[in-house]
């Protein structure tokens, strides 16, 4: 199997991919400039929807979206199709379980952010499910190095993400709402290692899928989380004067 299944000679695809790329730049600008910043976590505004319940909704709808496309496409049963289904659904199911059992939330989130994030993640799930399940036939696919490499990166990303979410959850004791700067794990090197794990997971899905449009989903996620990490570092520096300014945003020693 080729590592790229997308028809790169199609003018329609070229236009679509250009739009995806520009969208990533727009997302970065809006989040970085705070002209349209999603209201959750330390950047939450005066929301009126319980954050825990909101996060469960945000991460449940994409699972339903992917499974709908998968089963309406005849639930193809090749290793490729089943692996991608597991990767995407596990990614969001893990976040649902974290929202219910792990994370400690200290406020509400805005309804606009709830609706927008749910839509974006559901659109991402659909964008993955559509080409993977409708365009690729089971008899065309065999176990490949792309699937193996993508699966390894995906699993590594999930472990990194979960490990650092556990660290963050352990910082708050009881009902305390005081924020403590995390120092253990990769937090000693980067501001948001949980975002690093998130991005590795999306990259693993993209590599496994072999579709350019799914690599561009990774690009949009990278653009958003990089901007979010930059603003997180600014927030730390403002709130904690002794915060190490040399700490990177996402990748140790690099970025």
Stronger pLDDT, 204 or 144, i.e. the higher one: 204
Cβ neighbours of 71 (radius 10 Å)? 11
Give the range among 65-74, 82-91, 104-113, 143-152 with minimum mean pLDDT: 104-113
Q: List the chain domain ranges.
A: 23-172+180-239
Average pLDDT, the chain: 89
Q: How far are the Cα atoms of 52, 96, 178 from residue 166, in angstroms, in the given order?
A: 16, 14, 17
Helix, strand or coil for residue 43? helix
Each residue's pLDDT tens digit, 114-148: 999 999 999 999 999 999 988 777 656 665 788 99
Rounded Cα–Cα distance for residues 78 and 150 (Å): 16
List the structure tokens of 180.
């403590």
> To 10 degrees, what angle do helices 212-239 and 111-130 make?
150
Alpha helices in 73-144 (DSSP H): 79-101, 111-130
Secondary structure of residue 249 in the 3-state scheme: coil
Residues paired with residue 190 on neighbouring β-strands, in sequence order: 248
- Tell me: pLDDT of 40 over 70: no
Q: Is the pTM of this model over 0.75?
A: yes
Kindly indicate the confidence band of residue 42, based on its pLDDT and cuts at 50, 70 and 90: low
For helices 79-101 and 145-169, what crossing angle results, to 10°? 0
- Which segments of the chain are extended strands (E)? 49-50, 108-109
């Amino acid at each position: 199997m080729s590592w790229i299944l997308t028809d790169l000679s199609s003018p329609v695809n070229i236009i679509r991919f250009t739009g995806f790329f520009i969208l990533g730049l727009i997302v970065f600008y809006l989040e970085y400039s705070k002209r349209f910043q999603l209201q959750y976590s330390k950047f939450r505004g005066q929301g009126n929807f319980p954050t825990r319940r909101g996060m469960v909704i945000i991460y449940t709808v994409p699972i339903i979206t992917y499974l709908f496309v998968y089963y309406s496409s005849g639930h193809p049963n090749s290793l490729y199709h089943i692996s991608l289904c597991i990767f995407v659904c596990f990614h969001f199911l893990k976040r649902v379980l974290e929202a219910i059992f792990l994370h400690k939330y200290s406020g509400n989130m805005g309804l606009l952010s709830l609706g927008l994030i749910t839509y974006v993640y559901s659109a991402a799930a659909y964008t993955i499910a559509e080409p993977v399940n409708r365009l690729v036939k089971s008899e065309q696919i065999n176990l490949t190095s792309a699937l193996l490499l993508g699966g390894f990166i995906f699993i590594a990303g999930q472990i990194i993400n979960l490990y650092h979410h556990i660290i963050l959850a352990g910082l708050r004791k009881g009902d305390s709402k005081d924020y403590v700067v995390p120092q253990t794990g990769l937090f000693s090197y980067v501001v948001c290692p949980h975002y690093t794990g998130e991005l590795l997971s999306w990259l693993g899905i993209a590599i496994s899928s072999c579709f350019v449009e799914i690599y561009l989903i990774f690009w949009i996620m990278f653009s958003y989380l990089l901007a979010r990490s930059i603003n997180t570092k600014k927030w730390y520096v403002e709130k904690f004067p002794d915060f190490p300014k040399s700490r990177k945003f996402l990748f140790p020693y690099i970025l």
